[in-house]
Amino acid sequence: MALKKFKPTTAGQRYKVISAFDDITTDTPEKSLLSGKSKSGGRNNDGKMTMRYMGGGHKQKYRIIDFKRDKEGIPATVKSVEYDPNRTARIALVVYSDGEKRYIIAPHGLKVGQEVVSGKGATPDLGNAMYLSDIPFGTVIHNIELRPGQGAKMARSAGSYAQLMSREGKFAIIKMPSGETRMILQTCKATIGMVSNGDHSLERSGKAGRSRWQGRRPRVRGVVMNPVDHPMGGGEGRQSGGHPRSRNGMPAKGYKTRSKTKASNKYIIEKRKK
């Protein structure tokens, strides 16, 4: 995975840093694993704008990803590593020995021709999906389930990973990408390795138009609005805007919004780093 810089032949290329896409092996997706994707532009079924700063963007097809990895005991061969416009990570097309094709989130270092397998008999090798009860301590993992059979919910974006620290009773102790340490049932699955495209956070679009291609419209700061539009708006000249808060008045930057009675609090051993 490498990054590509450009000579500043135009203003938009002066600060542009994007992926070299050297890890991608094909630009043609598997047709049977595509589905249509419609865009709302931030409008609800009445046509009213309920989410601001959304609209436009390039047309996209959704790639159906296998987050459950429930085809156990059957080996699959990696056929290709592909770009997915719907996520920051790369995806891999795997073909099972019985002929079925599925997309999975590609771990860092996964190559075409490698074999992956899931379930009880799997070994802790790159790309294999295993139960937390079978994974060795200290192993780097991603695509972690929160409930057995639910499908992966955590550590799915580019470059993210968690680590299996220990096991207590029916729970495994996992150190999450945020730094939080929490308990997850040992009957949940996780995939071995770190998610691909780890340099994604170092990319720079270089121009506003690239955000428009992604369906993001310009975002207006609260301090430049009028008092009727935002709690931080108004004032003579350029005012700082007072205490940082959202448009609805919810304080930001240090104000805790997590409920003290949230059900999952009992599974959290150590909170995330501030």
Convert 104-150 into a string of H (helix), E (strand) and C (coil): EECECCCCCCCEECECCCCCCCCCCEEECCCCCCCCEEECEECCCCC
Mean pLDDT of the chain: 96
Question: In sequence order, which residues have a C-beta less than 8 Å from that of residue 25 and are 6 or more positions away?
Answer: 80, 81, 82, 112
| % of the chain at pLDDT higher than 90 | 94
For residue range 204-262, list pLDDT tens digits in order.
Answer: 999 999 999 999 999 999 999 999 999 999 999 888 888 999 999 999 998 988 999 99
Looking at residue 46, what is its pLDDT? 97
* pLDDT of 7 above 90: yes
3-37+58-201+262-270: CATH number: 2.40.50.140
Mean pLDDT for 55-60 is 97
* pLDDT of 175 above 90: yes
Looking at residue 245, what is its pLDDT? 94
Looking at residue 252, what is its pLDDT? 92
Mean pLDDT for 18-43 is 96
**Strand 268-270's sheet: what is its strand order?**
129-131, 189-192, 140-142, 162-168, 171-175, 181-185, 268-270
Q: What backbone torsions phi and psi does residue 13 show, to the nearest 5 degrees?
A: -95, -5
